[in-house]
Structure 1
Amino acid sequence: MEFWKDFSEASDKVALIEDEKQIKYGQLEEMVNQLIKKYDNRKLAFLVCTNTIESVAIYLSLLRAQIPVVLINEHIENELLAQLIDLYKPFYFWDNRSEELNGYHKADSFERYNLRMNQEDIDYPIHEELGVLLTTSGSTGSPKLVRQSYKNIQSNTDSIVTYLNITDSDCALTTLPMHYTYGLSIINTHIAQRATLVLTNATPMQKKFWSLIAEHKVTTFGGVPYTYEMLKRVHFFNKDIDSLRYLTQAGGRLGVDLHKEFAEGCADHNIDFVVMYGQTEATARMSYLPPQKTLEKIGSIGIAIPNGKFWLIDENENVISEPEIAGELIYQGENVTMGYAQSFADLNLGYDNGNVLHTGDVAKYDKEGYFYIVGRKKRFLKIYGNRINLDEVEKILKQKGVDAVACGKDDNLKVCVLQDADKTKAEEVLLNNTNIPRFGMKVYVVNEIPRNSSGKIMYTELENSL
């Protein structure tokens, strides 16, 4: 049975904690059933996500009512939100904002959230298996969404629960936003096991983060590489962390030194440290590094999750059958999503990939079958967990009148311009038109952009010159 179907068997177990408020699974069951009554037809919903009891309850009610939902970043720019509404034409719109929404009327409410409905009688076909739509974890503001089916969500949840051995005695702290595939997977897996979720936006740099861990005897939380940099800065292993059973890491490659430091420290404190790898296109997770191997295999993304499979192909799409040879990483599993959507017209599409995902990452495996990412086939990098398409960065700058070339590595976007006047403008454009933080980028003024004989930019040479 899908994990969102019935919570009554765990009615006395604490489900969600937010500040001073906590609700049990029995109360959550009542909430979800009351919320379902607000939906008349199976039409698209938008949910502006927050790490709150209402947001999680609304999400679960939409799953149970089989109302497909786009999960929206609460900090989304108004311009991008308007573009998404125009492209996808949602009928239901859940948010906790006070301002009016053009084209919608307030039909109902649920505590701090408003349910708005489209003033037009929107009606277009939607595939029966379509459950959730997420952005591709990027920050460039692309309206392209990933179409996740109910089967995708349940399959990936089952696999993660299995390899992390999550039980109803676990208590997870939400260190990541709900609209982000990794943050959502933490919610899904702990709800599935009728465990407890402590909902917060607190970071390791805040006292509240540590008081919540102590007060609620938190057993787990997850983080992107930047989270672990913060944990190092605040001397994580000197904190009161006795209740912690395991930590997870995903959302980008962890530096070798940081991986080693946390692997060793967690081993000393009897905490499992689990490095993972995933993409929104695979619902969330594709691999994990078993904690008993984390020191031996530093830098590895591990092995495929239960019911998943990895292999590598060369440039001619031949399967690579020997260790230590790099090729594109291919994944197969029921968690491979239905494909992309660019507008409401794509919401009736079925699966377009046979449960096979070309990850775009270049990897190799060792003699024991453990995989290591060695580069990116396409021009993507991750800035503190958010995937950035370098071509999209260049396109945004071009649209604003700045000729620039983007390159870099994870957590370090480099943008090159040819004129001093463009340096400040490029910084302003990126800060105002993307969610890339200032400390994740640097703009350089260069004398020339190296190109090969056919005029293609030589990105590696450019980056090496900076």
Structure 2
Amino acid sequence: MSTVTHPTTTVNINPATAISTLAGFQPDSTVIRYAGGDLTYSELDLKTARVAVLLAARGVTTGDRVAYLGLNSSAYLVTMLATFRLGAIFVPVNFRLAGPELRAVLSSSGASAIVCEPGHGAAVEAVREYTKLRHFLLIDDDPQLPNETEIPGYWEPWARLIEAVEATPAASAIPRGFDDPAILMFTSGTTGLPKGVVLTHGNIWWNAVNVDSRLDTRRGDITHAVAPLFHIGGVNALALRTIVRGGTLIVRRSFDPAAFLRDLVSYQVNSFFAVPAMLAALARVPGCFETELPHLRTAVVAGAPVAPTLIQRFARHGILLQQAWGLTETAPFATHLPVERTLDKLGSAGIAMPYTEVRVIDPNWNTQVAPGVPGEVVVRGPNVTPGYWNNPEATVAAFDDAGWFHSGDIGYLDEDGYLFIVDRLKDMIITGGENVYPAEVERALADLPGLVDVAVVGAPDEQWGEAVVAIASLADGACLTLEDVREYATEKLARYKLPRRLTLVPSVPRNASGKLDKIAIRRLATEGP
């Protein structure tokens, strides 16, 4: 029998290429609906190409980093796709970060260029000297943005520059393969210092394959994007996948539950990604459960444990929430609860995605545990990050010799292989879908006048999933309120990291070795002194 030898083929999975292809086949289809201006596929492709030309003229090339600072908007997606078009690495920045945090992210990324909304220009100015930023593009063509009267001269308003670029830039997107880095997304470490998670084009692509294999997603879907796009869930759960398949993305700058409900109805939304706090707020909108949503097929919720009562309440009204679990490092989904198991596996984060492996191990011995036995959840698969940016120590610590990524989350698999998350090996707090590390908050409060000792933990909260709680002891004669604590930490921390509750105690519980007694502290946070 004769055989045919085929040449080695490199598959181009660059999302910018997919947009260009769709612009050829469905140029007049609306891809982005946004209050600041809708875009068709041809318009998105052209604007992306022009911004890529602007960045290239400023020296941005393959492997360079381009930062974006701002809320959800079409400019976010344009900048990301323009960065991909050049083979560069996109760095979405959490717009809630305070000065020291912003400085750490921009400095660590080594970004040479940034695209920014006017309202965040002052924050960049405050840390600019500590970064490698050399080029500053200011978004000035979005009527949703506030007007700034004084803009430093080094900022270049991008509207006139975009218009001046040749109408049909000739250069096509640089082909990208599975191992090429696409996004550098920063997440806090256990010490509170940011770690840059490298996500390759392969990580993004394999998550999309997992999603399409398990969830009811279709070409032409209308997807709602109101969860922050600087988070991996916001951008890569459904949003990016929707636009590279010919669908329409409804982009909203911030979450308003009543407006969200109106959008679901008026745009006949098929899918969305949300964190539990968003759905809890939606449930409180008058008339929410009397509203018919016949077009909604895929409602994915992740970012924090979902209260079973919330799942049941939505289910009684015909909306089956699909819980998923993952991290930035897993791009984002490692598990997903199939819609048909929403109620009989209530509270489960689901089963492993089709092209992802999930195990539960004894964290002390790195051995797999039996069903029903809690342990650390570990993940392996092509959707998992290759490691942390310029941080080999963190990469080595996160992966074992067999390639399993250690999530730091504690959970168990039931007899059917369904994952239940029960705690976190690390002390991370998840409030409203945002990660907060107690050590970071404790450091920010350590030198507060009148404060003797402080511990920070999370406590259950109906609205936010968890609330940041400070347990503190004071010096004799000192008097501190929650408002005092929050005001003191405001310049050091993003607002979502500030304590929402303060409990004063004679002394903060510590064990014999002087370490914080987290069991006793959590009891104080939930039950009081």
TM-score (norm 2): 0.77
SS at match of 2:16: coil
Cα separation, 1, equivalents of 2:233 and 2:256:
18
User: For the structure 1 residues 261 and 106, does the alpha-carbon distance in structure 2 shift closer, same or farther, using more than 3 Å as the test?
Assistant: closer
Query: Are 2:227 and 2:255, in contact at CA under 8 Å, matched by a contact in 1?
Result: no
Greater displacement, 79-88 / 374-383: 79-88
Quote the offset at 1:400 in angstroms: 4.8
Alignment of 1:128-207 (within 5 A): 129-136=180-187, 142-185=193-236, 186-206=238-258
* 1:295–1:163 Cα change, 3 Å: same
Change (3 A) 1:168 1:355: farther
TM-score normalised by structure 1 residue count: 0.86
Counterpart of 2:337 in structure 1 is 289
Where does residue 455 of structure 2 map in the other structure? 405
Structure 2 counterparts to residues 61-460 of structure 1, below 5 A: 61-97=82-118, 99=121, 101=125, 102=128, 104=134, 111-112=141-142, 114=157, 129-136=180-187, 142-185=193-236, 186-206=238-258, 208-235=259-286, 236-265=288-317, 268=318, 271-341=319-389, 355-398=403-446, 400=448, 402=451, 403-409=453-459, 410-419=465-474, 421-424=479-482, 425-437=484-496, 441-460=500-519
Secondary structure, in 3 states, of the residue corresponding to 1:80? helix
Are the aligned partners of 1:136 and 1:145 in contact in 2 as well (CA < 8 Å)? yes
Deviation, structure 1 residue 275: 0.7
Q: State the one-letter code of the partner of 2:37.
A: K
CA 1:191–1:141: 2 relative to 1, 3 Å:
farther
1:5 partner SS: helix
CA distance in 2, matches of 1:139, 1:428: 24
The alpha carbon displacement at 1:223 in A equals 1.3
Could you give the per-residue CA deviations for residues 404-436 of structure 1, whole angstroms, max 9, x where no partner exists? Answer: 111223512221111153444433234443224
Q: 1:6 and 2:57 equivalent? A: no
- 2:417 is paired with a residue whose SS is coil
Contact in 2 for aligned 1:96/1:114 (Cα 8 Å): no
Q: Tell me, yes or no, if the aligned pair for 2:470 and 2:499 is still in contact at 8 Å.
A: no
Tell me the equivalent position of 2:51.
35
Match of 1:16 in 2: 32
1:54–1:111: 8 Å Cα contact kept in structure 2? no
In 1, Cα distance between equivalents of 2:277 and 2:105: 29
Cα deviation, residue 274, structure 1? 1.0
SS in 1 for 2:441: helix
* Alpha-carbon distance in structure 1 between the residues aligned to 2:335 and 2:94: 26
CA RMSD, aligned part only?
3.2
SS of the residue 1:58 aligns to? helix
Q: Percent identity?
A: 22
Cα–Cα, structure 1 residues 197 and 246, in superposed 2: closer, same or farther, change >3 Å?
A: same
Compute the displacement of 1:352 (Å).
Answer: 6.5
Please give the per-residue CA displacement for 1:366-404, whole angstroms capped at 9, x wherever unaligned: 111111011111111201101111122212222556431
CA distance in 1, matches of 2:299, 2:76: 24
Q: Which residue of 2 aligns with 1:119?
A: none
Question: SS in structure 2 opposite 1:16?
Answer: strand
**TM-fit CA distance, 1:448:** 2.0
Query: How many Å separate the matches in 1 of 2:472 and 2:390?
Result: 31
The letter for the 2-side match of 1:408 is G
Structure 1 residue 364 displacement after superposition: 1.0
Count of residues in correspondence between the two structures: 449
Asked whether the 8 Å contact 2:66–2:91 carries over to 1, the reply is: yes
Q: Secondary structure at the match of 1:60?
A: helix
The gaps in structure 2 that reach 5 residues or longer are 1-11, 143-155, 160-178, 460-464
